[in-house]
Structure 1
């Protein structure tokens, strides 16, 4: 795979509206065994491959002007399988590092339940259930700043340098916003249209919350789609958030 950043062409021609199909990647081995995966590269499961195929079949009839994904295998393979099964096999996938999931630093590859319990206690709660009840769906975004602080304190006693430790929510917010803006600007100057964008669950929710702090941050399933319109520098979210309609249509 040839990794490269999204770059603007400098063409200042008329901008056209862009609709981004912002999609969570398909199922990986880490999803299946409940491990933290951020920048770590876990492969797709066989079920995940079939989920991506079904998702692609559900997209048949939708023409994509472009496709972008993060630089991890799960992002690229989800995009490629979906495009190949939707009649968009001629669409080239462009890599955008800013679309990656949070970097979880020392917590990469750790058990999700154990890690979330540590976060709940750091936030002042006895259990994860208590934390979720109090903070609602935003708990999943609060996790990142907690891990950022815990990793800075070197809770796990690793020898990672600061640059390799967990990102803060603000770091992810800034890079996701920049990545999506770059994509929107470039595609709009190329004529606009639909764009398949494959990212990861928590990074997607962070971006959506940045657009609208009242957005429903409910858990996003594998291949869940949220349509985001981009027009002259402005993002707007189409409802529903995290739709599984394309995946479900692919089963018919």
Structure 2
């Protein structure tokens, strides 16, 4: 694909609209853990070479969009995604602000373990044979149910780890509390600047769990690396401002 595809991107958001804030909620680029199919969570896996190339392509797709601020979680994959994307987009001088509340869900004792085996274990613990069966039963709420299952299972400690309670898997409520706190603060900060677009880089599960709270009809799909969901913020409330988990900016970036 060539860079000529950039015209397909919906850049119809006026960056100078006073008082309007649009958060570009973005999943980080591909990491070594993604390539090895390992659980990541709070563990700090870096971007792969392929991941960095994908982030730069994503950044090129953002050209022409002005960001008033940029935020990310406190893991290397979050910061490097934000930095390389902004550099490729033409906003090398924009400072990235880090908020630990934007990090991925904590999977406790299950971090660094085989992803397929671990997710199957969690589904079995909930009484289902597979993730597909669990999705059929729980639908749009699958990520919330899975995270709470991680929490309960880790407290039972079948792996025999000696993690302290505060280091074990989070509940969905804990994830939502910190994500809403972070994103509300980011939205208010942008409003204080007069509004505009904000790049926010986080992780798949934490973004999914936040997004399903925006409406009973919102069925959040699995999120590819560098996918974007635009969310409007006003009067302390969030609402969707575009498609869920869109790859339009990555696609518009084309090949170098």
Give yes or no for TM over 0.5: yes
Q: Which of 151, 154, 158 is residue 155 of structure 1 equivalent to? A: 158
Aligned residues: 238
Aligned equivalents of 1:213 and 1:156: distance in 2? 36
Instruction: Between 33-42 and 125-134, report the one with greater CA deviation.
Output: 125-134
Q: What is the aligned partner in structure 1 of residue 142 from structure 2?
A: 139
The equivalences for 1:230-241 within 5 A come to 230-241=233-244
1:194 pairs with one of 182, 188, 197: 197
Match of 1:105 in 2: 108
Moved over 6 A (4+): none
Q: What pairs with 1:56-67 in structure 2 (closer than 5 Å)?
A: 56-67=59-70
For 2:128 and 2:219, the matched residues in 1 are separated by 23
What pairs with 1:11-30 in structure 2 (closer than 5 Å)? Answer: 16-30=19-33
**Equivalents in 2 of 1:34, 1:121: separation in Å?**
19
> 2:224 aligned with 1:224, yes or no?
no
Q: Equivalent residue of 2:89, what SS?
A: coil
What are the Cα deviations for residues 37-78 of structure 1, in whole angstroms up to 9, with x where unaligned? 010000111100000000000000001000000000000000
1:18 CA drift (Å): 0.9
Q: 1:61 to 1:24 in 2, by over 3 A?
A: same
Partner of 2:58: 55
CA drift of 1:109 comes to: 0.5
Cα deviation per residue 1:57-104 (whole Å; 9 max; x = unaligned)? 000000100000000000000000000000111110000111000011
Whole-angstrom CA distance in 2 between matches of 1:171 and 1:244:
28
Query: What is the distance in 1 between the residues matched to 2:195 and 2:220?
Result: 28
Pick one of 210, 213, 216 that aligns with 2:213. Answer: 210
Give the match for residue 7 of structure 1: none
The farther-off stretch of 57-66 and 15-24 is 15-24
CA apart distance, 1:175: 0.4
Alignment gaps of 5+ in structure 1? 1-14
CA distance in 1, matches of 2:192, 2:251: 33
- 1:156-171 maps to which residues of 2 (within 5 A)? 156-171=159-174
Distance 1:81 1:132 in 2: 34
How far apart are residue 234 of structure 1 and its match? 1.3
2:126 counterpart (115, 120, 123): 123
The answer on whether the counterparts of 2:69 and 2:95 sit within 8 Å (CA) in structure 1 is yes
TM-score scaled by structure 2?
Answer: 0.90
Cα displacement (A) at 1:233: 0.8
Question: What is the TM-score with the length of structure 1 in the denominator?
Answer: 0.91
C-alpha displacement at 1:137, in angstroms? Answer: 4.6
Q: Deviations over 1:173-223 (max 9, x none)?
A: 110000000110111112211000000001001111122232121111100
158-167 vs 134-143, which deviates more? 134-143
The residue aligned with 2:94 is 91
1:17–1:232 CA contact under 8 A, matched in 2: no
Three-state SS of the structure 2 residue aligned to 1:197 is strand
1:80 paired to 2:83 = yes
